[in-house]
Chain A
Amino acid sequence: MANDSMPAAAESGAVDEELIEQAYEALDGSPVHDTRNQTKWEKWKDNFKKKGWILVFILPALIYVIIFCYVPMYGILVAFQDYVIGDQIIGSSTVWVGWDNFREFFSHPNFWDYFKNTFLLCILGFIVGFPLPIIVALLLNSLRAKKVKKGLQILYYAPHFISLVVLVGMLKLIFGTEGLLDQLSIKMGGDENGLKLFLSPEAFRPLFIFSGNWQDFGWSAIIYIAALSGVDPALHEAAKVDGASRFRRIFSVDLPAILPTIVMMMILSVGNLMSCGYEKVLLMQTTTNKVTSEVLSTYVYTVGLTDGRYGIATAAGLFNSVINVVLLVIANFTSKKISGSSMF
């Protein structure tokens, strides 16, 4: 078979890569197919037969995504129902109410406050929290002493493993009523009633954002550190020869090298921009800071789990998710246009 195909290539005078590949395969004695006249479908089938077993590796992830991400999506139908726990989502006991839940949610007197609080908390968190791990990764990467680098890295990502409840407990011990900061302030002649940071609506966002970033900046930096480890040392050598300072190399070598990772992470972060979770907000919430701390996710929690009004809670959650999807698409499109890198 290999002998038949060789003269054809020689006649045409062109280098047929496929043919060469087949010839190589023929060297180990295995049969060689002539794929030149195969249709795409036949080629795909052929390929699948040869390498299809590799797909087994992605099967668990695929099953996981289908079961836990796609199957539960049918639950969004609850947003269009007067749902009581125990009702069938599609069945004889389903009570469809159209857009009523959305109407009730949008006409809630505090809707815009919740929306504004969510947006501000998330956007401020993004502005502070997104560049921080990149800066830390770049700085760690430019450290010469490897032991110091490792030590700092562990020190930075260790807080990630503190549970939320413990973290908020620590915050209360430090910043709460009669906490460390209050005691210090009183000792230094401040107001004897303390700073009352947990009561103050103005202090909620800084406390929430900075504690969150303190906990996670080291962990988030790992992905950038990994990306930086892939930068070709020859580039640094060349830059050094050209007389680039360490600072210059960060901007001209490291940063461009990890730019695709940064873009990818930014698109993913924008896709979660309106999701700030409810657990930590609820733990940090007090009567007086609700003006700034009541967000869409806590509203969903209260209305859904506390009041049992699942229809409205699902409608609110769906609204939040739709905003996230829109933001994701916009971020992806913008990134594609500007930098050429995108997720899809």
Chain B
Amino acid sequence: MKKIIIGVVAAVLWLVGVVAFSVAASRAGASGAQFVVLTVKEDSVKDYNTMPVFKELAEDTGIEVQWIYKNSTQYSNTTDPVGTKGIDAIYHTGFSNLKLYDYGRRGRIVAIDEYLDVMPNFSEILEKRPDIREALESPDHHIYSLPRVEEMGLKAYPNILYINKAWIEKLIEENDMPAGVELTADMLKDGLDLSRSQFKAILEKFRDHDFAGDGKTVPLTFVSGNWQGNESDFIASFGVPENRDHKIIKDDTIISTIEDEKWFDAVCEMREWYKEKLIRTSSFTQSDIEFLARGQDGRYGAFYWWEKDTVLAKDLRDDYIIVLPLKDDDGNRYVGMSNELEIEKGECVVLSTCADKESLLSYFDKFFEPDYSAQLNYGSIKSGAFLPNKVGGKLIPQNDHGDQSADDFRMKNAPYGVVYLTEEVWNSSVEMESRAKLRLENLENYVKPYTIEGIKPIPNLNYTEQELKELNTYEAMLANNISGWFTKSITLEDPTRESWQGMLNTNKSALDAVLKINNDAYKRYLTATEKKV
């Protein structure tokens, strides 16, 4: 019996020892850290705790933050990230408007607007930019999250059409250019001028010649419904301001594009192209990763994406050129605009359980300073993202990263998240990346001039609680029903006017409700930002 008691006592003591040691060790890990912030980070990204930009921030503010991580899969499987024990804030929250409001009104996350006196940079932004304040406010007019503002003017035009110049050259060499298309080798440069029917005739030749071999040739491809490189601008070429949300501001009213006859015409045309094998089923089923992987071996005749470098292997990049928006039968070119936002909310929230909210928020406030914003967005100066010395008061991006591509370097070294990079910052404090400048230049030269008149992207609107709930129900349903009909009408059966009207009638009440909610919110937005309808 004695032996048993001694054994039990020894086991208990051992267990207590192990627990005590673990607790001590975990505390030692956070030694000196005043705050613990949970962030979503993939394993390929460097440890935030060792990033020079955060060390610099710690020295600057005297505030130590320990970053702890979950990868995106772990994070998305966390039912209640706000309930994570021992954390003071969450970075890269990904919270929707409704979720932010739900957590905010329950008092589980901090109403940041109540701490503006310790956040001079953020206060100044809110004063200068009522549209940002409007975008961030929840239905109870509190601000529950810090934003990401990256205004480059790129996101509104996420689709540029590229064509395989090398294959056209082969057609010219073989003297097999389609009838009605008169192209010479010296015309094959960015800004190729083609009508929709000429473009189609060239794709037919690509298909027939099977330039990629073994039947691998894909005449035209895109990623249906993706935020970039989608089919919207093919549809827009018919004169309807299409984007993946199927809604846009036209003449200061939010309208739906799917009710437009031209939208139906575009679907019918796409069905014909599909039947003729110019567009493949994969365009409607592939993910962006699959699309990018397939592009590496040069099987694409033409594709939509916002740049060509990520789609093509290095040796193939010179083979592709930009096509101007396809000319419609009326001789005009049309381009739509996306509603992708350059002001994103939900980047960072501070939990109500944080013991010293003022200090932590003053730390995050530093993120809005241009030098920190630039380093958070592209990588630290010390890691080689920028030249060590400023030129003309501006941070200059370092373009050469050795064997690494600019994308790879950035993915590993930049934490992203809360930044404030606006036109003012680009002009005064940070030089834009050369890739971004090239994209902008391409857009200015080949895309923007053809924007359909009177359209504007829908800004970040502020909804009431009831509106948020209704939108939550209707928008998901509409997205399902519209994309279901759209893909079915191209890949499975001929679209008929009856089936289109049937789809519109079925979704009419939801569509009307969504448009009304959006227009009401937009009117409030205009009033709040002191514009007139």
Contact = CB atoms under 8 A, between A and B. Distances in A.
Interface in A80-109: 84-87, 93, 104, 108-109
Nearest to B474: A109
Contacts, number: 84
A24 B82 CA distance: 70
Contacts of B477: 108-110
Give the most central of A178, A194, A308: most B CB within 10 Å: A308
A84 B281 contact: no
Interface residues of chain A: helix, strand, loop or mixed (majority): loop
What band does the interface of chain B fall in when counting residues whose beta carbon is under 8 Å from A? 35 or more
Nearest to B285: A177
Nearest to B274: A193
Interface in B477-533: 477, 480-481, 483-484, 487-488, 491-492, 507, 509-510
Interface in B458-484: 469, 472-474, 476-477, 480-481, 483-484
A287 B485 CA distance: 9
A220 B509 CA distance: 46
A193 B473 contact: no
A112 B481 CA distance: 15
A201 interface: yes
Nearest to A193: B281
A196 interface: yes
Interface string A194-219: 10101111000000000000000000
B439 interface: no
Contact of B80 (A85, A178, A201, A290): A85
B108 A86 contact: yes
Given A109-B477, A288-B492, A308 B99 contact: yes
Interface string B75-104: 000011011000000000000101100110
A309 interface: yes
B349 to A, nearest CB: 13
A177 B477 CA distance: 25
Contacts of A198: 285
A16 interface: no
Contacts of A193: 274-275, 277, 280-281, 491
Nearest to B486: A287
B83 A85 contact: yes
Those 7 A-B pairs whose CB atoms lie nearest each other, nearest first: A85-B80, A84-B102, A288-B487, A288-B488, A287-B483, A177-B281, A287-B487
21 contacts: A86-B82, A104-B469, A104-B473, A109-B507, A193-B275, A193-B277, A193-B280, A193-B491, A196-B491, A196-B492, A199-B491, A200-B492, A286-B285, A287-B480, A288-B484, A291-B484, A307-B98, A307-B472, A307-B476, A308-B98, A309-B98
Given A193-B280, A307-B476, 13 more contacts: A84-B108, A85-B79, A104-B473, A178-B282, A193-B277, A193-B281, A194-B281, A196-B492, A199-B284, A287-B284, A287-B480, A288-B284, A288-B487
